[in-house]
Amino acid sequence: MNAPVKIETTLKDWETDQEVRWCPGCGDYAILKAVQRTLPQLGADPANTVFISGIGCSSRFPYYVESYGFHTIHGRAPAFATGAKLANPDLDIWLVTGDGDGLSIGGNHLMHVLRRNVNMQIMLFNNEIYGLTKGQASPTSREGTKSPSTPIGSYDHPARPAAFALGAGARFVGRGFDVSKHLPDVLKAAHAHQGAAFIEIFQNCIVYNKDVFNDFAAPKGAEDQQLWLENGKPMLFAKESKGIALNRDTLSLEVVDVVDGDWEAAGVIVHDVTNRSIAHMLVEMPFGPFPMALGVLYDDPKPTFEAAALAEKAAASEGKEANLAKLLGKGQTWTVDGTAQDPV
């Protein structure tokens, strides 16, 4: 999902002259900086990079990145991004959406861009609330969430973005959170993936859902509740004193204690990013009894949508003459005599 030619840039090259209009303390600031710091490391070219968004707080992103950008309509960013990729497959496209924009009005479009495997990075900022419209419950709001639209508490079962992505057929699913130092690593892995790369980013809405992720995403003191996944490495957390094992009787994951660093004796499993079944289990782990699974959960590329479209076009046109006049004159034709002034 990369620009064909890498160039040297700095963070300043990706900053715009636009005033950043998010609430003071919003997690979007941290995500913006993480992206702007990551792009130079990727060798990305501003002239070949496009940020496309829908509607919501997160969707102001294109104004703040010095590249091409398209602030589109509610929920439809995947459709615009697909069109841009088909028109120019060499573009490096970043799609920015939120839990409301992407999973409510845009759920249908998001599902199709994932199942089609269009080559782009998709960042979904999940703050579990509608921030731009003043704090209503969103598709990811937890049961019991009190908001202007659920004053007594939400009884709606929340959507799980990463589980949604896997269910839609995504070939790359990652997770991070706004202030994490590991977020750039997840972005780099997504960019290296050939196909639709989905990244759920937990983002703190300082006004309407403040500190809702603090149990695992607080700047300090929450590290023991984070399971940072790394391909080929054991699933360890809590300073490597605990791990994730597979109970082969129930075919389910469980937390085990690791004694004296012997994770193999504890049965801790080694992360394999190509194992889709384990990825499904990881995104469904209930937080509390389990840590929050973060990093690259699943990464198993397959041919992209635009590659298939170009191959089909090439096969259909092979050996044929590109002659529009001849095409229009083919088959049944007729000639109309007279002028516009003649009676009908």
Residue 343 has pLDDT above 70, yes or no: no
Domains and CATH numbers, the chain: 11-218 (3.40.50.970)
Note the pTM of the prediction, 2 decimals.
Answer: 0.91
Identity of the amino acid at 291: P
Please say if the pLDDT value at position 114 is more than 90. yes
Spatial separation of the C-alpha atoms in residues 120 and 93, rounded to whole Å: 5
Residue 328's pLDDT band, with cuts at 50, 70 and 90, is: confident
Percent of the chain with pLDDT over 90: 87
What's the pLDDT score for residue 292? 98
| pLDDT at res. 335 | 75
Assess whether pLDDT exceeds 70 at residue 104.
yes
Write out pLDDT tens, residues 252-270. Answer: 999 999 999 999 999 999 9
Q: What is the DSSP letter of 260?
A: T
pLDDT at 288 (0 to 100): 94
The pLDDT assigned to 5 comes to 81
> Cα separation of 28 and 318, whole Å?
48
Which residues, including other chains, have CB under 8 Å from residue 100's CB and lie 6 or more apart?
56, 130, 138, 139
Highest mean pLDDT among 1-10, 124-133, 196-205: 196-205
pLDDT of 167 over the 70 cut: yes
CA 150 to chain centre: 27
Does residue 344 register a pLDDT over 60? no
Mean pLDDT of 124-151: 92
Q: Residue 341's pLDDT is what?
A: 72
Check pLDDT > 60 for residue 203: yes
Q: Which two tokens stand for residue 197?
A: 């790369």
At residue 320 the predicted structure's pLDDT band, cuts being 50, 70 and 90, is: confident
CA 308 distance to own-chain centroid = 22
- b/e 183-200 (16+ beta carbons within 10 angstroms → b): bbbbbebbbebbbbbbbb
pLDDT surpasses 50 at 2: no
Mean pLDDT value across residues 328-335 = 78
Q: How much is the pLDDT for 4?
A: 61
Average pLDDT value over all residues in the chain? 94
**H-state helical runs in the chain:** 27-42, 77-87, 99-100, 107-116, 161-167, 183-192, 214-217, 276-284, 305-317, 324-328
In this predicted structure, what is the pLDDT of residue 1?
Answer: 43
Residue 264 CB burial class (10 angstroms; 0-12, 13-18, ≥19): exposed
Average pLDDT over residues 200-215: 95
Instruction: Please answer whether residues 154 and 142 qualify as being in contact, where contact means their C-beta atoms are separated by less than 8 angstroms.
Output: yes
The CA distance from 194 to 197, in Å, is 8
